[in-house]
Amino acid sequence: MSTENLYNAEAIDKLKELVNAIDIGMLSTYPTDSGYVHAVPMSRQEVDDEGNIWFLFSSESETFSHLRADNKVSLLYSDVSDYKFLSINGSSEISEDQSRIDKYWNKMVEGWFDKGKEDPRIRVLKVIPSEAHYWDTKSNKLVTFLKVAAGAITGQKTDSGREGNLDY
């Protein structure tokens, strides 16, 4: 795997590509009363043009209480079928922005909030990445495996994909 660090617009485009393709990531928060992270699966609502990732979630969740004490987050995305992975560290902001709730409201979100868009528990989470690293093969899992196996047999290096930092 070769290294290809991406910057500015290219980094944001790669971030959007991976997050939108994978969709559900593990959002990790840092509880003050534990030495371990707290991770939950979250489906993104949007990756904006600045690379911020937006979610809807509940004010009754453990995630909400953790973020009120410490706004630090990590997001991990994994698509094992295509060997695409993304690790993001950053900070978060929580709001009750009704225009964003309206924008992101859909049938899936409706399943979590039985009082509809006006449910007082709905919160908007904005994740602001400060660092990100990706691993992305150029082909699917089977082709990648065959390339790696062929390289092992022949002793020749194969180009099985790219990995690098996303800086913007």
Whether the full predicted model's pTM is greater than 0.75, yes or no, is yes
DSSP type of residue 19? H
CATH, range 2-167 = 2.30.110.10
Cα–Cα distance between 1 and 138 in angstroms, integer? Answer: 10
Q: Over 50: is that where the pLDDT of 131 sits?
A: yes
Asked if pLDDT for residue 155 goes beyond 70, the answer is no
Q: How far apart are CA 72 and CA 95, in angstroms?
A: 16
Average pLDDT, the chain: 89
Domain ranges (residues) in the chain:
2-167
Rg (CA), the chain: 18
How many Cβ atoms from other residues are within 10 Å of residue 70's Cβ? 13
pLDDT for position 25: 98
Half-sphere exposure of 91 (CA within 13 A, CB side): 5
- Residue 27 and residue 31: Cα distance in Å, rounded? 13
Q: Give the pLDDT confidence score for residue 142 in this predicted structure.
A: 46
Rounded percentage of the chain residues whose pLDDT exceeds 70: 86
